[in-house]
Structure 1
Amino acid sequence: MAEDPQLTDLANHLAARRTAILERWRRAVETDPRLTSASALTRTQFYDHIPAVLDALDNWLRSEPPSERAQAEQEQKETAAEHGFHRWHHGYDQTEVMREWSHLYFCLIDELDDYASAAGGPETSSMRVARRIVARCFSDGVIESAARYSRLQQIEAAERVRDLEQAVAQVEEMELRRAEMWREAAHDLRGNLGVVKNVTAALNYKDAPEPMRAEFLQILEKSVASLHALLDDMVVLSRLEAGHERRDIATIDVAALLKELCAGFQAAARERGLFLHVEGPSALIVEGDAVKIRRIAQNLLLNAIKYTEKGGVRIKWTDFDADGLQKWALIVQDTGPGFEST
């Protein structure tokens, strides 16, 4: 079957008017108060796949055999789907995508009307075919753009649900850990109070010999010190949870701070039959929060000594260069059993 001369002539007319059609469409979108996302796009980004859509329409108008028209229709659908992806990527909502398609459709209808008016006479069967082709082209375009946009929204929603589920799981895990920390703190507090209570009762025993009273006083002193440290830790934990903990950054000699701290732990290590080796430069000037650094190092040493049954503990501090930045590290090693993996 031969090509329709009028459809071919119309296709040539639309091809010649391509730039004017695109500009008319852009102005229609710019003046639509309900379309705001387009203002953030460059001209090339705005046109995106629409020139290819018009190419597919051109092929459709020129194609007479059904096989060629089917191919042109499929090309148009694929291009329209890609246009929907492009608009989603640039933050359009689905209503904006549909309104843009609507403006483009009416721009082409105006071109068909102008072409028919210039030709004069009653509307021919070829023009009626052309109008159906344009309508079919743009209905398919709207459907394919909307379908691609909808699939992308579903994928994005599924990803958000997964992210939310992971966040909820992390919060639940944190709540369990926090509950366990408070349970352990309460257990330690109760244990220390029990020791204080028993020692106080023993000290009230008038017939207790002096060596025993001296030993009880030493136990009482240690228990009170342990209670003080435990309460400090609980206050810090409550401040952290409330978001009230602040850092007090200053220039400090962290080596002097750590040496003083380790000297105070030597007796505790000896009592457990452990060594406590200290290694590091005699002076190490850094920017940091002295109170928090001391607290962290103290907790690490307490745990290392507490859970090490034989051998001992090594504490080391050093400075190093990382990507052009000067940093320092605190290393605490012990010969204890470590922690089981979970």
Structure 2
Amino acid sequence: MYTPVESPLVSLANYLAARREAILNNWRTACQNDPACNTMANLSREEFNNKVPFMLNVLEDRLRHLPLNGDIKVLAEEHGLHRWQKAYILEELLVEIHHINQMMLNELRQYWKLYPTPETERISESYEYLSWFYTLSINGSVEQYTDLQRIDASSRAQFLQGALNDLNEMTRQRGDLLRTASHDLRGSFGVIQGATSYLNLVEADEPERKQMLEMINRNLTTVREMVIQLMDLARLEAGQESVAIRSFNAGELLRSLIESYQPLATQKGLVLQADGPSDLEVESDPLQVQRVVQNLVLNALKHTDSGWISVSWARESDFRWLISVQDSGPGLPGNQDAGSLSQALAPTPESAAAFGFPNAEENAREEAVVQAPKSSKGEGIGLSIVKRLCELLRASLEIETKTGEGTLFRVRLLMRWTTD
């Protein structure tokens, strides 16, 4: 049997660190088996753990008598905010806190049975530290949660005013988008009209007439695409699109779809690559999923002059799967010109580490605002359609972009469709 050589509390801290993954897994299992916990079923491992690994780090620092690398109450407040955002009810939050503390209590009991010590005051001290952990974790989480409830109850008028402002802003942006589209349509019609008038000139020779006819055909195709996109967007905004949910093999659908675009990629000298499992059974609307990917791939093909386009898909967890479309194009500009689509869609990842390693990106949670470039071919309309389709599919849309290096669109979808 292993005999601790450090002081009992330091040895206990090392033991808890070695048991970290088991503690977190047992905690989740206990919550899954508790009928009072319902919302957590939709959370990934990282979302469920949230700030708890950081809180356990602080407890272990206390056991080692080291300077505390964090404040448990503050971390618990952030955890309470997270659970509020995930639509937990207060009872679920309290049950979760009870279970994590029960897991820690069981670990202490198990440790002192394995490694009894004559220093009974150290045993008593360890339970005092656990009580300190429990008190701060429940106070921080519940105080934050109840503060949010009070704010919500007292500020509904402000929320309604904010919603009205958002609606007005959406109306303005929609008007800007339609004005831009109208301008682009007028420009295309102007080219067509000018080329048609030129064809009526008697002195126009055959090569010039052929050139004008090609120009007319190109612009007629552009006009047709824009009108179709405007009609699609109008149907989505009017709520006239519906979903037909069924099980299907997403890997098979996506691979076949990407193969259909290979000739267009070859024509432009681009490498179009598909990566993902051949078998990925999901529940969604295959037609709407296909429309999302079509819009993103066509957008990448239009705006990437050289290099490659990568389309990949994977199961992210038991609850979600994702599709990513990445190109080596010019990237999206950071400014927000009127009439183009701008979205604060930069991802804010959860910490994936059981030990709660610091994640500057997550802690800062800085929103990266990206904007689709203007295009006479209606790129802004296409991205508006993608966003609306994602809302229809209960999917999230994230954008990462870097000027001169390309853009990544990531769509997260449900593995199984849940009824409201």
Q: Give the TM-score category using the shorter length.
A: 0.3 to 0.5
- Which structure carries more relative contact order (alpha carbon 8 Å, separation 6+)? 2
- The two structures have a TM-score, normalised by structure 1, of 0.45
- The two structures have a TM-score, normalised by structure 2, of 0.37
Larger radius of gyration: 1
